[in-house]
Amino acid sequence: MTNVNRDANPIAATLAAQGVAYPDVPTLAAPRGHYSHVATGLGLVFVSGQLPLDARGEPRADLPLAEQAALALRNVEAALAAAGCGWKDVIKVTVYLAGVEHWPAFDAAYRRMLGDARPARAVVPVPALHYGVLAEVEAVALHPAAAQAPLSPPPVLR
Residue count (the chain) = 158
Domain ranges of the chain: 10-147
* Residue-wise DSSP of 124-142: EE-S--GGG-SEEEEEEEE
d(CA 1, CA 16): 11
Per-residue pLDDT of the chain (158 residues; tens, 9 = 90+): 333 334 544 555 555 566 888 999 999 999 999 999 999 998 899 999 999 999 999 999 999 999 999 999 999 999 999 999 999 999 999 999 999 999 999 999 999 999 999 999 999 999 999 999 999 999 999 999 887 766 655 556 66
Do the beta carbons of residue 5 and residue 152 sit within 8 Å? yes
DSSP letter at 102 equals G
Sign of the dihedral through C-alpha 129, 57, 141, 152: negative
What phi-psi label fits residue 87: left (phi over 0), alpha (psi between -120 and 50 degrees) or beta? Answer: alpha
Fold observed for domain 10-147: 60s Ribosomal Protein L30; Chain: A; (3.30.1330)
